[in-house]
């Protein structure tokens, strides 16, 4: 799979949004040269994975066409693959984009729908023989913030991910190639996001590496009364510490340089030496 020793340390997935409308950095890296420069900066800062996304998944984001998504991500993946020797993940819910991205040099599929939006995703990933990140969501980015009525948010996340792991394995994906993500901010309100951090170690029962993406998100902005996503770095750092303490293996972050220091110190405190 990946050359990662799960449990020994925290790994950082650097966010590379090649979109005009992502909540934090939309429009900054949607040209190949700018995207490459940002990927190089993420790698230099200590990222272990570069996550390329062409479809914004912020609340209310509209779905773009398959052609537009391909146009956004493929040229960037090719240029990054040519210059950087790190695993590249592609943030997509479309099996066709996943396959084209892997053919262009991507190594991992990061599917916010947990394999639910495109029913051919699992068979495609099994054939490509690459790892996949399965995330929990309700609805889609356009509707998800109206779908936060849970009896027990963590129980539902665990049940959903357990079911999707089973479906993925049945489709031919090896368990060792499955990573799980509880979906911070995706159909969750402030209190539910905080509960996920407190109960994150319950996901350990699913026996898959845990990815969590708190970076610059609105729940941090609400706590800090900080409307500017770029002003949420240290709030993100606190969330990352909590995630590491409760069992996260991968942090998906924008501010890799700062979160590298956070994770090194947190690892020294909480992980076995």
Q: What percent of the chain has pLDDT over 70?
A: 94
Residue 139 forms part of a structural domain: yes
Q: 236 lies in a domain?
A: yes
Ranking 33-42, 94-103, 175-184, 239-248 by mean pLDDT, the lowest is 33-42
Q: What was the pLDDT predicted at 28?
A: 56
Is the residue at 3 inside a domain?
Answer: no
Which of these, 159, 142, 232, 224, lies nearest to 190 by C-alpha position? 224
- What are the angstrom distances between the C-alpha of 197 and each of 27, 101, 192, 210, 211? 30, 32, 9, 12, 12
Encoded tokens for 112: 């916010």
Q: Is 226 helix (H, G, I), strand (E, B) or coil?
A: coil
Is the pLDDT confidence value at 59 over 80? no
What is the C-alpha separation between 74 and 137, in angstroms, rounded? Answer: 25
In a domain, 197, yes or no: yes
How confident is the prediction for the chain on average, in pLDDT? 93
Domain membership of residue 54 as a residue range: 11-270
Q: Using 50, 70 and 90 to split pLDDT, how confident is the model at 62? A: confident
Residue 42, domain member (yes or no): yes
Residue 266 lies in a domain: yes
pLDDT of residue 4: 95
Question: Rounded CA gap, 88 and 32, in Å?
Answer: 15
- SS3 (DSSP) at 151: coil
Kindly report the CA angle at 70 between 213 and 215, in degrees rounded to 5?
15
Q: Sheet containing 250-253: which strands, arranged edge to edge?
A: 178-181, 132-135, 108-111, 88-91, 49-53, 11-17, 250-253, 211-212
Question: Token pair of 136, please?
Answer: 């929990």
For the segment 61-87, the average pLDDT, to the nearest whole number, is: 91
The sign of the torsion formed by the CA atoms of 50, 196, 177, 95 equals: negative
- Read off the CATH number of the domain in which 176 is found: 3.20.20.20
Confidence of residue 273 (pLDDT cuts 50, 70, 90): low
Which residue spans within 104-231 are E strands per DSSP?
108-111, 132-135, 178-181, 211-212
Per-residue pLDDT tens over the stretch 94-149: 999 999 999 999 999 999 999 999 999 999 999 999 999 999 999 888 888 889 99
Hey, which residues are catalytic here? 217, 252
Confidence of residue 33 (pLDDT cuts 50, 70, 90): confident
Query: How many structural domains does the chain have?
Result: 1
Assess if residue 205 is contained within a domain: yes
Cβ partners under 8 Å of residue 78, min gap 6: 104, 105
Percent of the chain with pLDDT over 90: 82
**pLDDT for res 1:** 46
Confidence of residue 25 (pLDDT cuts 50, 70, 90): very low
Highest mean pLDDT among 12-26, 28-42, 233-247: 233-247
Whether 4 is in a domain gets the answer: no
Listed residue (251, 240, 158, 186) closest to 212, CA to CA: 251
pLDDT tens readout for residues 217-260: 999 999 999 999 999 999 999 999 999 999 999 999 999 999 99
Q: Scanning the structure block, which residue is given the tokens 């190949």?
A: 32
Say what the pLDDT of residue 143 is: 86
Q: What burial class does residue 217 get, using C-beta atoms within 10 Å of its C-beta: 0-12 exposed, 13-18 middle, 19+ buried?
A: buried
Is 63 a residue whose pLDDT tops 60? Answer: yes
């Amino acid at each position: 799979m990946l050359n990662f020793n799960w449990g020994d340390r925290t790994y950082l997935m650097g966010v590379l949004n090649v979109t005009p409308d992502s909540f934090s950095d939309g429009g900054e890296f949607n040209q190949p040269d700018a995207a490459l420069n940002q990927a190089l900066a993420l790698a230099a800062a200590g990222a272990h994975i570069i996550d390329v996304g062409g479809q914004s998944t912020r609340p209310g984001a509209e779905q773009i066409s398959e052609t537009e998504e391909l146009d956004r991500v493929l040229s960037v993946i090719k240029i990054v693959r040519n210059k950087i020797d790190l695993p590249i993940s592609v943030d997509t819910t479309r099996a066709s984009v996943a396959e084209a991205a892997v053919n262009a040099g991507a190594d991992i599929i990061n599917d916010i729908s947990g394999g639910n939006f495109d029913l051919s995703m699992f068979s495609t990933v099994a054939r490509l023989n690459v790892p996949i990140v399965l995330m929990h969501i309700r609805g889609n980015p356009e509707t998800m913030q109206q779908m936060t009525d849970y009896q027990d948010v963590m129980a539902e996340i665990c049940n959903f991910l357990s079911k999707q792991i089973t479906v993925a394995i049945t489709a031919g994906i090896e368990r060792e190639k499955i990573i799980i993500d509880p979906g911070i901010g995706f159909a969750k309100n402030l209190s539910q996001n905080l509960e996920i951090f407190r109960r994150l170690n319950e996901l350990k029962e699913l026996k898959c590496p845990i990815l969590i993406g708190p970076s610059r998100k609105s729940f941090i902005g609400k706590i800090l009364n900080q409307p500017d996503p770029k002003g949420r770095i240290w709030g993100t750092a606190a969330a990352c510490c909590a995630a590491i303490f409760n069992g996260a293996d991968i942090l998906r972050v924008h501010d890799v340089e700062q979160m590298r220091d956070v994770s090194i110190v947190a690892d020294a405190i909480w992980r076995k030496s």
